[in-house]
Amino acid sequence: MTSAEPPPVERFRPADLERDWGRLRSTCPVSKTTTPDGTDVWLVTRYHDIRSVLGRQVFRVTPLDSDVSTETGEGNESIFQDPPEHTRLRGLVAGPFAVGRVGKYRAAIRAKADELIGAMLSSGEAIDIMADFSKPLTMNVISDVVGVPGPDRAMFQRLSDQLLVPVSEAQGVVALEGWRQLNEYVRSLIAHRRRTAGGRGGDLLAHMIRVQKEDASLTDVELTTMVLGLPVAGYVSTANAIAVAVRHLVEDKWLDELRVCPDRPALLKSFVEEVLRFQSGDNGESMPRFAAEDVRVCDELIRKGDMVVAPLVAANRDDELFDQPGSFDPRRPGLGRHLAFGFGIHRCLGANLARLELQCAVAALVDSGLGFEMLESWDSVPWEVNMLGDRFPVRLLVSAWQTEYGTRNRERTT
């Protein structure tokens, strides 16, 4: 038995992401709707209700009628399960992603970002932020974190990229094949590491191998799936968020604002948080939940087994918490309350890492002294959906040049 199939990808996507959350919130905060495939679903649109749905144990991530049984080894080995399985798996893997633990990657992330930026001027041609910056950067971080050896990295990225191809029929086959090969590679890598290094090393593979030695309950399939979950969860979403950040840096001139701001570190942090708040819905949306019993949300009775969707995009655009939520403003008060990483026990495991990557990427761009120009407006950037259900911008074309704004000016304001 292998985990040769992709993890469950059934995601509720509002057919229209630009739906009027404000009107729904004020007239019908918990409304009935249907998913694109016709399933009945509750749609929750207020920040506090969304947080409540995501945070309460009564809302499960697996449908009640599903016959998942880990004992028979069938179904879902990923971390996206309900307690007690989720608690066990998350506990095993969470350590390396704790806020205090990811900091060790900061220097490497920054060095990679500087290297990629340094190469931007050499081509003399249009730069695709996705292909030339955000994807190689996040892939490099993932390779560092997982422990992918240098010579394998190009292949690792190629296989991961196959997961990102748009989900047309022909490319779906490519993606599925990519998934199988990626799975195969990770399994062989684990076996190799077990043989050669045992549990030695500071990367995720070493950690998981050590964990498995101490906790026999962790199966090989689970180990493989969790290691694989990282490129799946952390690659596109973080790369997307970096692209969104670049959009606001360039199109809204925050790059220049950051360069002249007397309190740059603070503004940079809130800029990243605002990017996270703002990009919700563009990518990294929450999975649907299922009521384990009859439960009320905002006076609406939700029956046992009903599907509930609590979109992060709606929470992050709730004007009760965020004034003028549709505008991008890193100086807005209360920014820390955004739910870009979700909430509750399934809150994004890689949140600290993703945040660090964004901060390093933005800081590297600010310090580079490069000027950027969008070669096409953000509105005309094409987005695709990959087979994992993630939306991603196909490209983000910019031109870059070395500005004359002197390093001494920059030091002056740092």
By CB under 8 A, name the binding residues for another protein: 253, 255-257, 259-262, 371, 373, 375, 399, 401, 403-410, 412-413
Return the number of the residue (255 or 314) whose C-beta is nearest another protein.
255
What single string gives the DSSP state of each residue in 265-334? Answer: HHHHHHHHHHHHHHHBTTB-PPPPEEESS-EEETTEEE-TT-EEE--HHHHHT-TTTSSSTTS--TT-TT
R_g of the chain computed on alpha carbons = 22
What length is written for the chain?
414
Which of residues 2 and 123 has its CB atom nearest to another protein in the complex? 123
Cβ distance to another protein smaller for residue 169 or 263: 263
Angle at 343 between CA 19 and CA 209, to 5 degrees: 125
The distance of closest approach from Cβ of residue 372 to another protein in the complex, given in angstroms and rounded to an integer, is: 9
CB of 104 to another protein, least distance (A): 32
Residue whose token pair is 């050499």: 122
Q: What is the DSSP string of 140-187?
A: HHHHHHHT--GGGHHHHHHHHHHTTSB--HHHHHHHHHHHHHHHHHHH
As measured in angstroms, the least distance from the Cβ of 260 to another protein is 4
Closest distance between another protein and the C-beta of residue 124, in Å?
11
Least CB distance to another protein at residue 365 (A) = 12
Nearer to another protein, 383 or 405 (CB): 405
Q: Please say which residue, 66 or 413, places its beta carbon nearer to another protein.
A: 413
User: Angle, nearest 10°, between helix axes 351-368 and 220-251?
Assistant: 30
**Secondary structure string (H, E, C) spanning 194-237:** HHHCCCCCCCHHHHHHHHHHHCCCCCHHHHHHHHHHHHHHHHHH
For another protein, the closer CB: 221 or 374: 374
Identity of the residue, 129 or 312, whose beta carbon is nearer to another protein in the bound complex: 129
Please state the closest distance from residue 257 (CB atom) to another protein, in A: 5
Token pair 């761009």: residue:
365
Instruction: Tell me the C-alpha distance between 393 and 385, whole Å.
Output: 9
CB of residue 302 vs another protein: minimum separation in angstroms? 46
